[in-house]
Amino acid sequence: MDWLNDFSTQGVALLSALFIFLIGLVALLVSILFIIDLSQTRDAIRHNFPVIGRFRYLFSHLGEFFRQYFFSMDREEMPFNRAEREWVYLSAAGVDNTIAFGSTKPLNTPGTVLFINTPFPTLDDDACRTPPVLIGPDCREPYEAGSLIHISGMSYGAISIPAVRALSLGAKLSGCWLNTGEGGLSPYHLEGGCDLVFQIGTAKYGIRNPGGDLSEEKLREIAAIPQVRMFEIKLSQGAKPGKGGILPGAKVTEEIAAIRGIEAGRDSISPNRHPEIANFSELLNFINHIRDITGKPVGFKIVVGTHAWLEEMCEMIHQCGAACAPDFITIDGGDGGTGAAPMTLMDSVGLPIKAALPRVVDILQRHDLRKRIKVIASGKLINPSETAWALCTGADFVTSARGFMLAMGCIQALKCNKNTCPTGITTHNKRLQQGLDPKQKAVRIKNFVDKIHYGSGLIAHSCGAPHPRALRRSHCLIVQTNTQPVPLDELYPYQVDPAAGVATQPFAP
Q: Please check whether residues 65 and 151 belong to one and the same domain.
A: no
Residues 54-65: pLDDT tens digits?
A: 777 666 666 666
Q: Please check whether residues 161 and 67 belong to one and the same domain.
A: no
Is it true that the peptide bond before 210 is cis, omega within 30 degrees of 0? no
CA distance 144 to 471: 20
Q: Which of 51, 71, 91 is the last residue of a domain?
A: 71
Confidence check: pLDDT of 387 > 80 = yes
Residue 156 CB-half CA count within 13 A: 27
HEC profile for 440-472? Answer: HHHHHHHHHHHHHHHHHHHHHHHCCCCCHHHCC
| Structural domain includes residue 496 | no
Instruction: Name the pTM for this structure.
Output: 0.85
Percent of the chain with pLDDT over 90: 45
* Structural domain harbouring 40: 2-71
Structure confidence at residue 493 as a pLDDT band (50, 70, 90): confident
Report the CATH number that the domain containing residue 186 is assigned in CATH. Answer: 3.20.20.70
Residues 404-459: pLDDT tens digits?
A: 998 998 878 777 777 778 888 888 888 888 888 999 999 999 999 999 999 999 99
CA distance 206 to 188: 14
Top-confidence residue, 306 or 185: 185
CA distance 448 to 446: 5
Top-confidence residue, 503 or 161: 161
> In total, how many domains does the chain have?
2
CA distance 173 to 169: 6
Q: What burial class does residue 257 get, using C-beta atoms within 10 Å of its C-beta: 0-12 exposed, 13-18 middle, 19+ buried? A: middle
Greatest pairwise CA separation for the chain in angstroms: 108
Confidence check: pLDDT of 473 > 80 = yes
| Structural domain includes residue 16 | yes
| Structural domain includes residue 140 | no
Confidence check: pLDDT of 239 > 60 = yes
Structure confidence at residue 503 as a pLDDT band (50, 70, 90): very low
Which of the residue ranges 236-245, 262-271, 410-419 would you say has the lowest mean pLDDT? Answer: 236-245
Helices (H), 228-352: 254-260, 280-294, 308-320, 343-348
Top-confidence residue, 165 or 247: 165
Residues 200-216: pLDDT tens digits?
A: 999 999 999 888 889 99
Q: Please check whether residues 365 and 449 belong to one and the same domain.
A: yes
Percent of the chain with pLDDT over 70: 87
CA distance 251 to 412: 20
| Structural domain includes residue 363 | yes
Q: Please check whether residues 443 and 350 belong to one and the same domain.
A: yes
Average pLDDT, the chain: 85
- What secondary structure letter does DSSP report for 424? S
Q: Please check whether residues 204 and 312 belong to one and the same domain.
A: yes
HEC profile for 150-182? Answer: EECCCCECCECHHHHHHHHHHHHHHCCEEECCC
Q: Which of 71, 98, 124 is the last residue of a domain?
A: 71
| Structural domain includes residue 138 | no
| Structural domain includes residue 509 | no
Q: Which of 41, 71, 101 is the last residue of a domain?
A: 71
Q: Which secondary structure element, helix H or strand E, spans residue 85, and what is its range? A: helix 82-93
Q: Please check whether residues 160 and 306 belong to one and the same domain.
A: yes
Residues 349-369: pLDDT tens digits?
A: 778 899 999 999 999 999 999
| Structural domain includes residue 298 | yes
Overall residue count recorded for the chain in this entry: 509
Q: How far is CA 413 from the centre of its chain?
A: 15
pLDDT at residue number 74: 59
Q: Please check whether residues 237 and 153 belong to one and the same domain.
A: yes
| Structural domain includes residue 330 | yes
Top-confidence residue, 41 or 147: 147
Residue 470 near residue 480 (C-beta atoms within 8 A): no
Q: Please check whether residues 52 and 160 belong to one and the same domain.
A: no
Q: How far is CA 262 from the centre of its chain?
A: 25
Q: Please check whether residues 344 and 443 belong to one and the same domain.
A: yes
CA distance 108 to 483: 5
Q: Please check whether residues 283 and 416 belong to one and the same domain.
A: yes
Structure confidence at residue 50 as a pLDDT band (50, 70, 90): confident
Q: Please check whether residues 61 and 198 belong to one and the same domain.
A: no
Q: Please check whether residues 54 and 166 belong to one and the same domain.
A: no
